[in-house]
Amino acid sequence: MAFQAFTGIAIVGPSNDHLSHDHSPARRSMDTVEERIASFTNWPHGGRLRPIFMAGAGFYQFRVDTDAVSCFNCNVVMEGWNEQSDPITEHRRAAPNCSWNNDTYMTTWDERFHSFHTWPLDIKPLPAAMASAGFYHSNKSTDAVTCFSCKLILKDWKKDDDPIKHHLQQSSIFRPCAWISKVTNQPAQYTPPTPPATPPVSAPASIPHKCEACKKTFPSGNSFRKHRRQSHKNIGRRIGVPLKRPGVVFLGRYRVSKATKQRMKHGRRGNTDLFI
């Protein structure tokens, strides 16, 4: 068994990189990005070594009890990863002849374009635009695409999406893509998504109030309370619930005697001095 270290990472299995695109059943099952991502169970690393990045570099988890991974294409097995490792760089060092990871796989526009033969044209960006942005269709059962150079994986496309714009923005999060920057003459620069605008909080609508003494209506509680203090200060004291006592009736939020209620009726006919 060969053993060679690259920045603390060990090759613990044969690198059969001369078997380019071997289609044995064991490795054919890891051809898709989703299958490789799903293989990472109990994976001990994060950051640059998250499963999506390892899968993007062609790796799937080789042993669930360690951090050993294997390339689905060249069959190299590597372990001993550290948080500063770049999966793509280490893959190229360990298996320089791996056709999938050495910038020789899907390098031409025609190869990338023809990979989109099952691409839904009506709801996704056109294959020509995807190929021009460096992407090829890496999973025929989904809309996942992969950049042939930086191995960026993107999916969930919408018809109006700009592949080049998304490539420039998303590749800068982890590993800026030198190819797309060179082709477009633009730096890979990440732009965080704009959060949705928070609607302004409107003041609660005023609730109209009606005076039970004089039957006037007021647009708000403040105007009603002002009217009550100025016009009906002698009617009676304020209470929270009606009092059921002989000779007393509940009028609005006040208790008044029947005699007072009769006086109020006369006052509404013109004797307004009762309410001052």
Q: pLDDT per residue over 115-126, tens digit each?
A: 888 887 777 888
CA angle 66, 148, 182 (to 5 degrees): 125
Specify the pairing of strand 209-210 against strand 217-218: antiparallel
- What was the pLDDT predicted at 88? 83
Q: Name which of 129, 104, 134, 106 is nearest 119 in CA terms.
A: 129
Establish how many alpha carbons lie within 13 A of residue 174's alpha carbon, considering only the half-sphere containing its beta carbon: 26
- What was the pLDDT predicted at 58? 86
Q: Name which of 34, 2, 33 is nearest 17 in CA terms.
A: 2
Mind listing the pLDDT tens digit for each residue in 225-263? 777 777 765 554 443 333 344 444 444 444 556 666 666
What are phi and psi for residue 274, nearest 5 degrees?
A: -70, -20
- What was the pLDDT predicted at 146? 85
Are 74 and 87 within 8 A, CB to CB?
no
> Which stretches in the chain have pLDDT values below 50?
1-7, 15-28, 236-254, 268-276
pTM of the model: 0.47
CA distances in angstroms from 54 to 80, 167, 196, 240, listed in the order given: 14, 18, 32, 69
- What was the pLDDT predicted at 195? 61
- What was the pLDDT predicted at 266? 57
- The tokens describing 145, both together, are 């695409």
- The tokens describing 142, both together, are 């989904």
- What was the pLDDT predicted at 201? 63
